[in-house]
């Protein structure tokens, strides 16, 4: 019954409609990437890619550590200003009370 409609005249599924709208047609297999032109990558290629990825992660972590240290310095300044403001308020209250 429903199998009679299979083919070009069949109603499209939501996924088919989405694919057609976003990609202009049906899903196609992507061409081989630069790492594996038609063949599987070698162990050396995989290792090089993993090492490069590891170096990128290390540099991101180092940048985050710098950001954390800057935030700590900012927090120290805020804390010092807070203490100074509290001392000023206490002094002003003492002046008002006298």
Cα atoms in the Cβ-side hemisphere of radius 13 Å centred on 48: 6
**Higher pLDDT pick, 73 / 30:** 73
**Higher pLDDT pick, 10 / 16:** 16
The model's pTM:
0.43
Three-class secondary structure of residue 40 per DSSP: coil
Task: Tell me what pLDDT residue 39 has.
Answer: 75
Where exactly are the structural domains of the chain?
A: 57-98
Q: What is the pLDDT of residues 35-65, one digit of tens each?
A: 545 678 888 999 999 999 999 999 999 999 9
Contact of 50 with 35, CB cutoff 8 Å: no
């Amino acid at each position: 019954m429903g199998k009679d409609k299979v083919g070009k005249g069949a109603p499209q599924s939501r996924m088919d409609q989405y694919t057609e709208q976003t990609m202009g047609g049906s899903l196609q297999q992507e061409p081989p990437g630069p790492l594996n032109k038609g063949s599987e990558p070698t162990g050396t290629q995989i290792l090089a890619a993993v090492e490069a990825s590891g170096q990128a992660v290390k540099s991101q972590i180092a940048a985050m550590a710098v950001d954390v240290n800057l935030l700590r310095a900012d927090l120290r300044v805020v804390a010092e200003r807070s203490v100074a403001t509290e001392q000023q308020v206490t002094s002003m209250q003492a002046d008002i009370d006298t």
